[in-house]
Amino acid sequence: MNEKKVFNLWSIVYGLWFDSMDKFIIHKSSLKGTVKISGSKNASLPIMAATLLTDEECVIKNVPDLMDIRTMIKILEVLGKEIKFQRNVLIVKAKKRTSGKEYVAPYKLVRTMRASFCCLGPLLAKRKKASVAFPGGCVIGVRPVDLHLKGLRELGASIVVEKGYCVATTKGLIGKHIYLGGAFGSSVLATANIVMAAVLARGVTLIEHAACEPEIESLVFVLKKMGAQVEGQGTPLIKVLGVKVLGGVTVEIIPDRIEAGTFIAASLATNSPLCIEDINPWHLTSVIETARGMGAQCVVGESSISVNPGGAMKSVNLTTLPYPGFPTDLQAQFMVCLCLAEGISLITEKIYPDRFMHVAEINRMGACVRRNGPYSIIEGRDKLYGAEVMASDLRASAALVIAALAAQGKTQVLRVYHIDRGYDKIEDKLRKLGAKIKRVKQ
């Protein structure tokens, strides 16, 4: 078959594959009412990895039903766990029969979800050996793991890279004073990995420049319920006194602050008053302050926020920072709001300087965003216009959905499998608020 025919065949197959993905069809919508937020994806994943630290049963409640959660379930099953997941409750037990290979997290699963790399620490601590595929980069950035490896080596792990796998062994981890700050500040999953390794290490581990995110606090809360001795969680200095063994646990996952922030952005962009419930408002201070700075009224309850945009939004300058700064995972969503604000805004992306894949797609909807390295300058416009746009990653796809709800006319958001990774039934939640959104299964 000549080259031309091969190319034509390939492009037909690619086109069929490309169209074989679900898409959203969305029309301009006003929203109204109350939305209940699910459990946090980014709190669930390290806690699921922590079950590797014990052979006893762990019951984890309020787990969101997401693709990333199901991927982590598959990884834990390969690593020797038996798992039941029903109605947002995970029951994790140790398999009775094992093959002896339950320390290898395979590339075919790890490459689909970088967070699986945080199995390395607990595996090493509990089984003294681990082989976890190196996670690749992704569209938001290179995603290095040097801090993870640095911390584990300081605890006494010997780590080699073999055929794309990170193969770690130890005779027994020993507590150490570890500085975990990197070029971009603290690292959430590196902190999680090192804490989970240190809880079974001999002696005291001090982790300096630890991540302060709520997801780290919730992980440590669970580890302490399992019998670990940890203090300083939520601050840049975490102290761990190693213990010999950890027991099972029953725990509930904290609310997803990024999902909550996504709905705040949807409220601002569509100029719709919303009540967002089942949240911890303390995890959203920087986001609430930003919404207020844009002119919205935010009334904070014990576990809710009522947002009333009140008309035209004001431009603001946004810089993403480690917690408690403005979260990088809400940068794309709030960019859409700023595209509809009066005046010029500046976004500085300090965590993932390349996290602007959404800019080109938003500009195709009539926005005026100029990216320059880690900066994006946004000239506010009166309107956005519906178009066929393509999701590139989890949070960018959420931003495109928000843009579609605010835009004139009809928008098709392609490749919504990205959004399924991190939002539990988002179209159902939006439809209940009055959104004109439907999923077209390909």
| Site residues, ligand EPZ (CB under 6 A) | 42, 45, 114-115, 141, 143-148, 182-184, 187-190, 215, 328-329, 351-352, 394-395, 422
Residue 189: CB minimum distance to ligand EPZ, A: 3
Residue 384 or 394: the one with the smaller Cβ distance to ligand EPZ is 394
Residue 144: CB minimum distance to ligand EPZ, A: 4
**Of 328, 297, 314, residue with least CA distance to 378:** 314
Residue 358 or 395: the one with the smaller Cβ distance to ligand EPZ is 395
Q: State how beta strands 410-414 and 388-390 pair.
A: parallel
Sort residue 272 into left (φ over 0), alpha (ψ -120 to 50) or beta: beta
Residue 207: CB minimum distance to ligand EPZ, A: 13
Residue 374: CB minimum distance to ligand EPZ, A: 11
List Cα–Cα distances, 160 to 117, 134, 147, in angstroms.
Answer: 15, 11, 15
Cβ atoms of residues 122 and 129 within 8 Å: no
Secondary structure of residue 394 in the 3-state scheme: helix
Residue 126 or 148: the one with the smaller Cβ distance to ligand EPZ is 148
- Residues 6 or more apart in contact with residue 198 via CB below 8 angstroms: 125, 155, 173, 175, 205, 207, 240, 242
Active site residues: 138
Residue 28 or 415: the one with the smaller Cβ distance to ligand EPZ is 415
Residue 113: CB minimum distance to ligand EPZ, A: 8
In 95-226, at which residue ranges do the beta strands (DSSP E only) sit?
A: 104-105, 129-133, 158-162, 165-169, 177-179, 204-208
Q: Report the C-alpha gap between 395 and 361 in whole angstroms.
A: 13
In 44-172, at which residue ranges do the beta strands (DSSP E only) sit?
A: 58-61, 81-86, 89-94, 104-105, 129-133, 158-162, 165-169
Residue 146 or 289: the one with the smaller Cβ distance to ligand EPZ is 146
List Cα–Cα distances, 388 to 8, 118, 156, 348, 415, in angstroms.
Answer: 24, 36, 52, 27, 11
Q: Report the C-alpha gap between 417 and 47 in whole angstroms.
A: 24
Q: Report the C-alpha gap between 236 and 187 in whole angstroms.
A: 11
Q: Report the C-alpha gap between 12 and 17 in whole angstroms.
A: 9
Residue 176 or 395: the one with the smaller Cβ distance to ligand EPZ is 395
Give the distance, in angstroms, between the CA of residue 36 and the centroid of all CA atoms in the same chain: 18
CA contacts within 13 A on the Cβ side of 387: 16
Residue 142: CB minimum distance to ligand EPZ, A: 6
For residue 388, how many other CB atoms are within 10 A of its CB? 12
Residue 103 or 323: the one with the smaller Cβ distance to ligand EPZ is 323
Residue 25 or 159: the one with the smaller Cβ distance to ligand EPZ is 159
- Residues 6 or more apart in contact with residue 212 via CB below 8 angstroms: 186, 234, 235, 236, 322, 323, 324
Residue 13: CB minimum distance to ligand EPZ, A: 31
Residues β-bridged to residue 263: none
- Residues 6 or more apart in contact with residue 108 via CB below 8 angstroms: none
